[in-house]
């Protein structure tokens, strides 16, 4: 019991303190609209591209979770397409916000694929967006899902070649409407999960993860680090994410 409190609950309380100290906008009306996108105009970037990004949520949710979204652009398309899921109205939103910003801050790059590889994968991404089963008004549920992270995790499972998963504090990414046991989303490991409320993963991309009520603790094997509730991953810089971030500017 003491170990559980230290590993799963202590980081949440510390995270609440950090968020309170950090401050920042908590309402849409407080968003700094003067911040400009770092992505080049789509017309000046002819290659196909897929970006998955995440950013800290606001309000009480921001203590424990991040929000994620996907940005796509087909070859020679003249506009970026950003897809999110929101908690009101029809969940799936197209271009409601600038492509790489969330509450006036730049998102963390989780996936950045461009060129012929992106061109080959975009049809699957688009099909996953069109076929998302929780796209009707009333389908959204903050916890344990389906929420914004459920949406992006569903897309990532259709492109395992990306060898990526959402941050460990993207609560809702592990939600499924039924108990699941099988390959991880990247197909580099195995997992077992009960509706995203309780689960375990062991894989090269996923590392070792234990999920309790959506809070995840574990180890990153590919880029050594630890994963803590509220904080997500802490450790050795993720070289792929760093390179992707530089490419997005």
Q: Where are the domains of the chain?
A: 2-247
State the pLDDT at residue 59: 79
pLDDT (tens digit per residue) in 117-161: 999 999 999 999 999 999 999 999 999 999 999 999 999 999 999
Backbone angles phi, psi at 187, to 5 degrees: 65, 25
- State the Cα–Cα distance between residues 194 and 200, nearest whole angstrom: 10
What is the reported pTM? 0.91
Q: Give me Rg for the CA atoms of the chain.
A: 17
Contact 44, 98 (CB under 8 A): no
Name the nearest CA neighbour of 221 among 199, 243, 189, 245: 189
Q: 180: buried, middle or exposed (CB in 10 Å: 19+, 13-18, 0-12)?
A: middle
Contact 70, 102 (CB under 8 A): no
Mean local confidence (pLDDT), 196-211: 97
To the nearest 10°, report the CA torsion of 143, 145, 148, 153: 130
pLDDT exceeds 90 at position 4:
no
pLDDT exceeds 60 at position 240:
no
């Amino acid at each position: 019991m003491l170990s559980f409190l230290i590993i799963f609950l202590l980081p949440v309380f510390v995270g609440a303190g950090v968020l309170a100290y950090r401050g920042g906008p908590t309402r849409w009306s407080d968003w700094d609209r003067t911040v400009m996108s770092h992505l080049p105009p789509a017309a000046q970037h002819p290659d196909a591209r897929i970006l998955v990004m995440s950013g800290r949520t606001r309000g009480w949710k921001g203590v424990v979770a991040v929000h994620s979204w996907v940005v796509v652009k087909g070859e020679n398309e003249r506009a970026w397409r950003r897809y999110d899921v929101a908690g009101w109205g029809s969940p799936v939103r197209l271009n409601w916000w600038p492509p790489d910003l969330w509450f006036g801050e730049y998102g963390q790059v989780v996936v950045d694929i461009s060129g012929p590889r992106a061109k080959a994968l975009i049809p699957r991404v688009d099909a996953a967006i069109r076929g998302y089963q929780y796209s009707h008004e009333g389908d959204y549920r903050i916890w344990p899902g389906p929420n914004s992270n459920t949406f992006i995790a569903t897309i990532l499972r259709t492109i395992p070649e990306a060898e990526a998963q959402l941050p460990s504090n993207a609560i809702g990414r592990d939600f499924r409407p039924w108990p699941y046991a099988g390959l991880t989303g990247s197909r580099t490991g195995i997992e077992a999960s009960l509706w995203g409320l309780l689960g375990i993963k062991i894989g090269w991309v996923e590392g070792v993860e234990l999920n309790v009520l959506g809070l995840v603790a574990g180890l990153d094997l590919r880029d050594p680090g630890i994963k803590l509730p509220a904080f997500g991953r802490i450790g050795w810089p993720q070289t792929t994410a760093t390179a992707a971030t530089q490419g997005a500017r």
